[in-house]
């Protein structure tokens, strides 16, 4: 705990109080897979200048602070929001739908840290296979902020990005300060070290950006993509994000399949987004009716499916399939899920094409229990 106090410039007793208040929690499971990390804690809430998800690690080289990824504010309209927010040029990047991962170098190995600050064994193993660690030897003070996407995701399963899992760099930042590097630096290192970066769709003036953004969002929505992030080329202004109608509907579809686990948090903000988008896109009656139908189906259909599933005596679950090179890492990941509070039913792993395959069902306990309770004649 002393290294945490030193890293955060606190007294040992103040650091201990953070732990007692569950603001500071352990971030990894001790295992030789994490051999360069002797101990690590994460912030479960913002504390002072330190973002939620900030990691404080005691490593074989001393201690390190890896700042949490800052929240990106959302635009509900393109005009006049872009005109007020940006100075001149605007970079329009695709917003990919996966899970936020920070990749860093500690000691001799790279590590993948989730948005909430966990050292994820599965993501770390895949990052060590895919990501060129020469970058960190040249830039040890930086971290890669990536979207981990694909069908083999433990958190956000999306087939539209292909089979397996891959990493797309959307930001490069200083670990200790969170200072972002300019867009041109991200493009340079992606070329130099063979990284995939999120697609840069357009660079234009802020005066032209709102028209271009509407065109791009419509195109992305038709392809089932999530949306866009708007950035200053020098990264001196905080980015803003915007999602397509189809993505909002997909989120609602997911949330209401597991309505008692996620529904309340998802509903209002996404419906409000749809209202402003319909207005700004100047939709006619037919387009507006189609939007209303899309949202209604997204909310009701998955909920009805869950009710039918529980009525048959089944649980409401989410299915996952992951590949591991090392069987020990597979077992470590199962322990990690339990520490994260995830209840799951695991199949017996099997070996296929050089990988240990783990299939599991994530059980949505709250939704299952709520439906079962109501179906027994109890009141809401």
- The residue assigned the tokens 């930086």 is 142
Q: Distance between CA 310 and CA 325 in Å, rounded? A: 36
Query: What is the rounded radius of gyration, in angstroms, for the C-alpha atoms of the chain?
Result: 22
pLDDT at 15: 85
Instruction: Output the pLDDT for position 159.
Output: 86
Query: Alpha helix (H) ranges present in 167-282?
Result: 183-193, 206-222, 245-257, 259-280
pLDDT at residue 12, as a whole number: 84
End-to-end C-alpha distance for the chain, whole angstroms: 45
Q: What pLDDT is recorded for position 113?
A: 97
Q: Which fold has domain 317-375?
A: Alpha-Beta Plaits (3.30.70)
Instruction: Match 């599933």 to its residue by tokens.
Output: 309
Q: What is the pLDDT of residue 263?
A: 66
pLDDT of residue 41: 95
Interatomic CA distance for residues 131 and 114, integer angstroms: 16
Rounded CA-CA distance 306/321 in Å is 21
CA angle 106, 340, 262 (to 5 degrees): 125
Structure confidence at residue 267 (pLDDT): 85
Closest CA to 44 of 339, 254, 362: 339
Tell me yes or no: is domain 2-68+97-197 CATH 3.40.630.10: no
pTM above 0.75, yes or no: yes
Token pair belonging to 112 = 């993948």
Max intra-chain CA distance, the chain: 64
* Residue 380 tokens, joined: 């809401």
Q: Tokens representing 279?
A: 């207005």
Class of domain 73-95+201-242 (CATH, top level): alpha beta
In terms of CATH architecture, what is 245-305?
Up-down Bundle (1.20)
Among 46, 36, 18, 11, residue whose Cα is nearest residue 117? 46
Taking 50 as the pLDDT cut, the residues of the chain under it are: none
**Domain spans of the chain?**
2-68+97-197, 73-95+201-242, 245-305, 317-375
Task: Determine the Cα–Cα distance for residues 55 and 42; give it in Å rounded to an integer.
Answer: 4
Tell me the C-alpha to C-alpha distance, in Å, between residue 338 and each of 77, 145, 310, 335: 40, 25, 24, 5
């Amino acid at each position: 705990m002393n290294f945490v106090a030193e890293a955060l410039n606190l007294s040992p007793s103040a650091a201990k109080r953070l732990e007692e208040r569950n603001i500071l929690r352990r971030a990894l499971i001790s295992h030789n897979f994490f051999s360069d990390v002797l101990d690590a804690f994460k912030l479960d809430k913002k504390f002072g200048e330190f973002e939620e998800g900030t990691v404080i690690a005691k490593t074989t080289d001393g201690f390190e602070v890896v700042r949490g990824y800052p929240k990106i504010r959302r635009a509900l309209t393109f005009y006049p929001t872009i005109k007020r927010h940006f100075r001149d040029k605007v970079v329009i990047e695709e917003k990919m739908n996966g899970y936020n991962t920070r990749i860093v170098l500690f000691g001799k190995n790279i590590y993948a840290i989730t948005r909430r600050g966990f050292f994820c064994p599965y993501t770390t193993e895949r990052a060590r296979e895919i990501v060129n660690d020469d970058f960190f030897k040249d830039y040890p003070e930086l971290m890669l902020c990536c979207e981990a996407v694909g069908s083999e995701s433990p958190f956000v399963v999306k087939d539209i990005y292909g089979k397996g899992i891959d990493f797309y760099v959307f930001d490069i930042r200083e670990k200790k300060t969170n200072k972002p590097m300019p867009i041109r630096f991200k493009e340079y290192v992606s070329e130099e070290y063979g990284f995939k970066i999120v697609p840069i769709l357009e660079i234009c003036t802020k005066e032209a950006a709102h028209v271009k953004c509407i065109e791009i969002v419509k195109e992305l929505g038709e392809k089932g993509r999530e949306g866009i992030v708007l950035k200053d080329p020098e990264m001196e202004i905080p980015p803003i994000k915007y999602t397509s109608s189809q993505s909002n509907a997909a989120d609602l579809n997911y949330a209401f399949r597991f309505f008692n686990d996620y529904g309340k948090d998802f509903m209002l903000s996404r419906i409000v987004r749809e209202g402003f988008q319909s207005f700004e896109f100047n939709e006619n009656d037919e387009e507006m009716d189609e939007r209303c139908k899309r949202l209604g189906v997204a909310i009701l259909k998955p909920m009805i499916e869950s009710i039918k599933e529980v009525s048959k005596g089944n649980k409401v679950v989410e299915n996952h399939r992951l590949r591991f090179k090392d069987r020990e890492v597979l077992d470590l990941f199962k322990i990690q899920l339990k520490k994260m509070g995830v209840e799951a039913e695991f199949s017996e792993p099997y070996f296929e094409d050089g990988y240990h395959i783990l299939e599991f069902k994530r059980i949505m306990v709250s939704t299952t229990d709520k439906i079962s309770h109501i179906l027994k004649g109890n009141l809401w």
